[in-house]
Amino acid sequence: MEINVEEVSPAKRRLEVTIPKERVKEEIDSVYKDIRKKAKLRGFRPGKVPMSVIRSLYKNQATATAIRNLIEKTYPEALEKSKLKPLKEREIEPGALTEDDDFEYTVMVEVIPEFELSDYKGIEVEVTPIEVTEAEIEAEINRLRETHAELQKIDEPRPLKEGDYVVLDFQGFQDGEPLEHFKATDYMAELGKKQLHEDIEKELIGAKVGENKVIKLKYPEDFQNKELAGKEIELHLTIKEAKEKVLPELDENFLKTIGEYKTIDELKKAIAQQIKEQKENIRDEYIKNYILNQLTEKTEIDVPETLIEEELEDMLNRAFQFTTPEVRKAIDLEKYRKELRPTAEQKVKAKLILGRIADKEGIKAEEEEVKEELEMMAKHLKVSVEKMNNPYVIGRIESRIIGEKVLVFLKENAQIKEVEKKTETSEPEKKTTENKEEG
Q: What amino acid occupies position 359?
A: D
CATH of domain 150-246: 3.10.50.40
Q: Read off the pTM.
A: 0.70
DSSP annotation of 418 reads E
Q: Read off the amino acid at residue 125.
A: V
State the sign of the Cα–Cα–Cα–Cα dihedral 41, 43, 47, 53: negative
Does 263-418 carry CATH code 1.10.3120.10? yes
Rounded Cα–Cα distance for residues 288 and 412 (Å) = 10
The burial class, CB within 10 Å (0-12 / 13-18 / 19+), for 410 is: buried
C-alpha R_g of the chain: 36
Residue 269, pLDDT score = 95
Query: Average model confidence (pLDDT) for the chain?
Result: 90
H or E, element range at 200: helix 198-204
Element (H, E) at 158: none
Closest by CA to 315, choosing from 289, 296, 341, is: 341
d(CA 402, CA 356): 11
List the pLDDT tens digit at each of the 439 positions of the chain.
999 999 998 888 999 999 999 999 999 999 999 988 888 887 787 778 888 888 889 999 999 999 999 999 999 999 999 998 888 776 899 999 998 899 999 999 989 888 999 999 999 999 999 999 999 999 999 999 999 999 999 988 899 999 999 999 999 999 899 998 899 999 999 999 999 999 999 999 999 999 999 999 998 888 877 778 888 999 999 999 999 999 999 888 899 888 888 899 999 999 999 999 999 999 999 999 999 999 999 999 999 988 999 899 989 888 888 787 777 777 888 888 999 999 999 999 999 999 999 999 999 999 999 999 999 999 988 899 888 888 888 988 999 999 999 999 999 999 999 998 765 544 554 544 444 444 3
Amino acid identity of residue 137, one-letter, is: I
**pLDDT tens column, 121-141:** 999 999 999 999 999 999 999
Cα(62)–Cα(70) distance, integer angstroms = 12
**Backbone phi, psi, residue 128, to 5°:** -95, 150
Question: Which sequence spans correspond to the domains of the chain?
Answer: 2-111, 150-246, 263-418
Overall fold of domain 2-111: Alpha-Beta Plaits (3.30.70)
